[in-house]
Amino acid sequence: MIRQYEPVIGDKEREAVNEYMKDPGFLTEYKRTAEFEQEIAKYLEVKHCVVVNNGTISLSLALMALGVKAGDKVIVPNLTMIASINAIRFIGAIPVLVDVDERLLLDLTKVKQMVMLDKTIKAVMFVSLNGRHFLDADFPKWCKKYNVALLDDAAQAFGSCAIDGKKIAGQCDIASFSFSMPKIITTGQGGCLTTNSDKLAQKLRRLKDFGRDCGGNDSHKEFGINSKFTELQAIIGLTQLQSIESRVKVKKYIYNRYCTNLQDVKGVKFVKTDLQITTPWFMDVFVPIRRDKLIEELKKRDIGSRAIYPALHTQGTCKDFIPKEKLHNSLIYASEGLWLPSSLTLNGSMIDSICDNIKEILNG
């Protein structure tokens, strides 16, 4: 059985956890968590990293730190995981659904038009879907000009770079990453927020710890919630970070191998992806005809695959936020998108076999 995804947790992680448990100490976040934050910040080329309990609450905390309040409007792409819109709704803000472009990313032209027309929009949540980032280097400056906060839901983009070649973590006001099971490094659950702003970093640390001025006291000058990390997660994360460069390399190799094998196959399309700057999370292809049939037939051959996210405006939980504008691209990509097996454990012969099966099924 080739699963669509399985994590890589090995002897090194187990040994690190066992070694820590020999010396009784804090299980909640402490020195190892601080070390994990420092190492992430170093790798992502950003000044501050704040780890939290998951990559969904991280988005809510980021919006709160950016001053978004209940009733404020936040732009979000119509093609993304449900967590993106849920994080907005969780704090009582109002999601504004905007269509995606040909790279499956928020259509920045439409975003600019909307911000110009609606002065009540307080923030833009960009989603670096499958590791891809916006190609408009001036967009953050444009947002500042119009006093709109810019948050990057970069849950799937750990290791990706912006158009200037620098890591995406510092491109927006705040970037949010996830360490859930399928991510390039995982701590089971967990996430982090990155920023180059001292003020925002301080705000985030208070928000994740009940609004405390600092740890070890019960002085609360502002609202906050408990979103802290654990030392056990930090130990696993630190161990996984040791191999991050090879993990990034393998992800790019897998994507490129799929592209090479399937580039001339009728009925299969790829999103244009620059592997010099993009680290794919899952291996996405688009099958305009018989996508669901392909999923079914692959399953019969013990090959796991998964349909991409439904367009948000088609989800029952989002029925109150359907805009008047047409959301054509996200609807099409949602109906055609497919994630192929994407585990770091895949080798060349396994990928070739998967592709041979896809060719056989589609030709049949």
Residues of the chain with CATH 3.90.1150.10: 244-363
Cα of 257 vs its chain's centroid, Å: 23
The first and second tokens of residue 297, run together, are 């037939």
Q: Is the pLDDT of residue 206 over 80?
A: yes
**Cα separations (Å) of 192 from 17, 151, 154, 179?**
21, 13, 10, 8
Report the DSSP pairing between strands 121-127 and 73-77: parallel
Residues of the chain with CATH 3.40.640.10: 11-241
Region 137-150: mean pLDDT is 97
Q: Is the pLDDT of residue 217 over 80?
A: no
Q: Which CATH architecture has domain 244-363?
A: Alpha-Beta Complex (3.90)
Please tell me the distance from the alpha carbon of residue 8 to that of residue 294, in angstroms, as a whole number: 27
User: If DSSP codes are grouped into helix, strand and coil, which group holds residue 177?
Assistant: strand
Residue at token pair 């180059």: 196
Region 95-104: mean pLDDT is 97
Please tell me the distance from the alpha carbon of residue 175 to that of residue 154, in angstroms, as a whole number: 6
Which pLDDT does position 99 carry in this prediction? 97
Answer yes or no: pTM beyond 0.75: yes
Of 170, 162, 74, 89, the residue nearest 125 (C-alpha): 74
Which pLDDT does position 24 carry in this prediction? 67
CA angle 364, 300, 362 (to 5 degrees): 20
Q: Is the pLDDT of residue 326 over 90?
A: no
pLDDT tens digit sequence for 151-195: 999 999 999 999 999 999 999 999 999 999 999 999 999 999 999
Which pLDDT does position 250 carry in this prediction? 98
Which pLDDT does position 137 carry in this prediction? 94
Please give the class, per CATH, of domain 11-241: alpha beta
Q: Is the pLDDT of residue 3 over 80?
A: yes
User: If DSSP codes are grouped into helix, strand and coil, which group holds residue 153?
Assistant: strand
